[in-house]
Every structure is written in structure tokens, then in C-alpha cells.
């Protein structure tokens, strides 16, 4: 396995409902491993309560404590999609803040199609569905698997 790219991002509320594309070329590989992590997952309770109250009031709904409680905990949510040579391969809307995603012709993680071949032009996109914390730190590491026996680990 060989790391081909590591990126760190610092996101805030201004990044809510945005997408960050990461483009790269992959050659001489049997698989692609995406290691992805972000923190925090849960929005700080006082901030979450304030944001939920504001949204309820903006929708002309009651911001009573029992109504606010229905939406707690408020979570930041980032998902990963993959495309190869312009063809969408998938996106598993999984709420875990740490994920490993495998893409190969033999096996791909839940939510992703198996690419016919690994070599080609790739785009991994980070989709910020909800960034409500003041600061969300993200790490993305892309590694190419060079030997078939490496696929057995995932």
C-alpha cells in the first residue's frame, strides 16, 4: 500500500451545504483505500440548542424545550462520493466520523459500485451536509493498493 495523497481541512458554518472535490490520477494499482475522519461529530450542546431554536422560530414553530430536544444531538455530517473517469460510483450516507472505504474491481465498500479497472482519472468529493460547529477538522488520506493480497485486509 502506498499513500498517494493526504489532505487536511478546517471547516466552519460557511462550508455548510458545500462540496469539496479532490481530483487525482491513479495508475498501477489493484485498489483504492480512502481513510476519512472528521471531528467533532456532535455539535456543542449550547450551540446546537441555539441553532435549533432559531430554525424552529424561522419556520413559525414553537421553540419550546421539548420541541428542541427532538432534534438533539445535532450532528455535523460529511459524506464521501467517488467517481472514476466521469462515472459516479457511489456515496454511502454513513454517519460514522471515521471511515475506511475500499474501491476495487473485486470488492467495493457498501454504497459504491466496483470500478472495472482502477487506473484512471478519479474524483473523491466531500459533501458537507451539515457543518454547524464553529470548527470541524477533516482528514482525508488516499492510498493505492498495489498487491491483490492487500485487498484481503479490508
Cell of 144: 493505492
Question: 37-87: per-residue pLDDT in tens?
Answer: 999 999 999 999 999 999 999 999 999 999 999 999 999 999 999 999 999
Same domain, 25 and 64: no
- The residue-averaged pLDDT of 100-125 equals 95
Same domain, 30 and 92: yes
**pTM for the predicted model, two decimal places:** 0.88
Q: Tell me if 105 is assigned to some domain.
A: yes
Same domain, 119 and 91: yes
Q: Tell me if 152 is assigned to some domain.
A: no
Q: Tell me if 111 is assigned to some domain.
A: yes
pLDDT for residue 3: 94
Same domain, 52 and 120: no
Residue 22, domain extent: 2-41+76-147
Same domain, 81 and 130: yes
Cell of 110: 457498501
Q: What's the domain count of the chain?
A: 2
DSSP H or E segment with residue 140: strand 136-145
pLDDT for residue 152: 59
- The residue-averaged pLDDT of 3-27 equals 97
Secondary structure of residue 58 in the 3-state scheme: helix
Amino acid at each position: 500500500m502506498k499513500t498517494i495523497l493526504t489532505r487536511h481541512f478546517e471547516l466552519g458554518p460557511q462550508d455548510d451545504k458545500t462540496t469539496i472535490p479532490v481530483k487525482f490520477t491513479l495508475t498501477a494499482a489493484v485498489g483504492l483505500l480512502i481513510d476519512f475522519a472528521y471531528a467533532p461529530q456532535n455539535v456543542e450542546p449550547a450551540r446546537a440548542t441555539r441553532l435549533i431554536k432559531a430554525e424552529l422560530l424561522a419556520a413559525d414553530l414553537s421553540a419550546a424545550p421539548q420541541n428542541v430536544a427532538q432534534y438533539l444531538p445535532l450532528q455535523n455530517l460529511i459524506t464521501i462520493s467517488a467517481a472514476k473517469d466521469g462515472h459516479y460510483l457511489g456515496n454511502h450516507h454513513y454517519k460514522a466520523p471515521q471511515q475506511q472505504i475500499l474501491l476495487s474491481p473485486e470488492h467495493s465498500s457498501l454504497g459504491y459500485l466496483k470500478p472495472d479497472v482502477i487506473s484512471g482519472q478519479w474524483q473523491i468529493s466531500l459533501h458537507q451536509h451539515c457543518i454547524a460547529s464553529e470548527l470541524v477538522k477533516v482528514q482525508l488520506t488516499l492510498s493505492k493498493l498495489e498487491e491483490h493480497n492487500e485487498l484481503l485486509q479490508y
